[in-house]
Amino acid sequence: MNAIDLLKKQHREVEQLFSRFEEAGEEAEKTRERLCQQIGDALAVHAEIEERIFYPESKQENTEELLRESVEEHLAVKRLLADIMQADLDDPQFDAKMKVVKELVEHHVQEEEEELFPLIADSCSTDELEDMGSRMQDLAQELEEEGQPRASIPGQTDSPAQI
């Protein structure tokens, strides 16, 4: 699969998870907990394939600034997710934390889709994008098979990923 299509597909999936979290009633504690875990896993996998493959390989003169901003945004999201992962679902701040992480992700997704991806689509061939995409898909599958990709988030909150 084309790398950009894969990332956009993951963006849609995480947006859906956030909507389902918001729609789940406060009393549906188990559902809310499961959705939070799914959001953590989805964002951990997504950040990992971007930081390990997509960002380093798409670094060029006209993308470096955007990429540096992107890894800072990932860092902010990871810090908040690490905080959420150890918070109680019935903490009165819990939903506010989820809302802030959702807004950060929305902003990040919009910047990637409107600014970063078009630059990369212009400078990479279809073959390059396909090759990158299949390696990203393999890494995503590997992380999912290892189980609980979100578990790596608290260990990644000190500094942004190197690109």
| Identity of the residue, 11 or 32, whose beta carbon is nearer to Fe ion in the bound complex | 11
Nearer to Fe ion, 48 or 98 (CB): 48
Q: How far apart are CA 157 and CA 74, in angstroms?
A: 9
Stretch that binds Fe ion, among 42-50, 83-91, 122-130, 139-147 (CB under 5 A): 42-50
Residues 90 and 34: beta-carbon distance below 8 Å: no
For residue 51, the minimal CB distance to Fe ion (Å) is: 8
Considering the complex, state which of residue 34 and residue 160 has its C-beta at the smaller distance from Fe ion: 160
CB of 144 to Fe ion, least distance (A): 17
Find the binder of Fe ion among 17, 50, 63, 133 (CB under 5 A). Answer: 50
Which run of H or E residues covers position 97? helix 94-111
Q: Which of residues 58-77 bind Fe ion (CB under 5 A)?
A: none
51 binds Fe ion (CB under 5 A): no
Residue with tokens 């729609």: 23
- Give the nearer residue to Fe ion in terms of CB position, either 95 or 144: 144
In contact, 150 and 35? CB cutoff 8 Å: no
Please list, in sequence order, all residues whose beta carbon lies within 8 angstroms of the beta carbon of residue 3, skipping any fewer than 6 positions away.
53, 54, 120, 129, 130, 132, 133, 136
CA angle 104, 106, 110 (to 5 degrees): 120
Number of residues that bind Fe ion (CB under 5 A): 1
- Contact footprint for Fe ion (CB under 5 A): 50
